[in-house]
Each structure stands twice: as C-alpha cells, then as structure tokens.
Amino acid sequence: MSGSHRGGPRIVLIGPMGVGKTTVGKLLADRLGVAFRDTDADIVAAQGREIADIFVDEGEPYFRDLERRAVRAAVEEHDGVLALGGGAVLDESTRALLSAHPVVYLSMDVEEAVKRTGLNQARPLLAVNPRKQWRELMDARRHLYAEVARAVVATDGRIPEEVAKAVLDALELKEA
C-alpha cells in the first residue's frame, strides 16, 4: 500500500446498471496498481449461478440479501477498487456503511442508459419497456446515489478512459 491510504477500498463505484462501474473500475485498479473487486462477481462465484438466474429462481429480495452481505464483506476485506451492483444503495444499512468510504457516483441520463444497455437480456430489471423502466429506476434511485457519494462523475459521451481520469481527479488520486 502506498501514501496515506488508511484501509478500506481506495474507490467504491456506484451508479445505475450499464453506467460502467465494472469497466471503469478495472481501468482504475490498473492505473492505481491495486486489485479490482465487483460484488456482482462475488455473488455469482459464491452462488455458482448468474445474477439473472438468482432473480428468476429466488426473487429479488433474496438477491438483495445476498448483495447486502457481499457489499459488507467486500468493504471490510478489500483495499483496492470496488464496484457495486446498481441496486446496492437501496439498502439503508449499506448506505450507512458506505458513508465512511470514498464513494463515486457514475451518472448518466436516461437516453444514454437506453443506448448503453440496449436489448441486453442479462439484466432482469430491464426485461420489458426499457425506456419507461429506466425512467422509473433513475427517479427512484438518483437521490440514493447522490446521498452516499463523495463525488459525482457524469459519463454521458465519455469513453471509459475519460471517466476513469475524471474519477481520479474528483478524488484527487494519483496514478501508480
């Protein structure tokens, strides 16, 4: 570990599905020379099933419970870059936990969201009428992302490398 980092994740990325948390998180981990971790991937590995299958087989509340535990474990264990699932902030105890950490909200507008996620069936929350569902999702969650974030980085019209640079600037972090 380098510099004045005091433990806990170096960066925690939150924001809606498809905004680039996983993609940008990997770039940031490379640039900082630290490990990358993603709570969705942790859940898939532990359950031996895809997220969409967990939703279908067990229902969303079951997934949210797994997610709450996965986020807690990752925040306690990981000192690199951490990406959360888009709905992690729905849980109040998760929001309280995140308040002590360098959380960055990657944002995008609804049209960018529709364009990015397209017809991707891997995301169970967008199975029908994506534009309407996006509008509802953003309206329900925008304030939750903003509430826990130390910085907001808009991703509209930016490639992942530009988003990563903006995150480093927002947190005043230097590349390794």
Ligand X SMILES: Nc1ncnc2c1ncn2[C@@H]1O[C@H](COP(=O)(O)OP(=O)(O)O)[C@@H](O)[C@H]1O
Please give the annotated binding residues for ATP, written as ranges. Answer: 18-23, 123, 158
Q: Where are the alpha helices (DSSP H) in 59-175?
A: 60-77, 92-98, 110-117, 130-148, 160-171
Tell me which of 40, 42, 91, 112 binds ligand S3P, using CB under 6 A.
Answer: 40
Stretch of 70-78, 107-115, 123-131, 145-153 lying at the interface with ligand S3P (CB under 6 A): 123-131
Output the smallest distance, CB 106 to Mg ion, in A. Answer: 10
What's the DSSP call for residue 124?
G
Contact 12, 24 (CB under 8 A): no
Binding site for Mg ion (CB under 5 A): 21-22
Contact 54, 36 (CB under 8 A): no
Annotated binding site for Mg(2+): 22
Residues forming contacts to ligand S3P in the complex (CB under 6 A) are: 17-18, 21-22, 40, 51, 85-87, 123-125
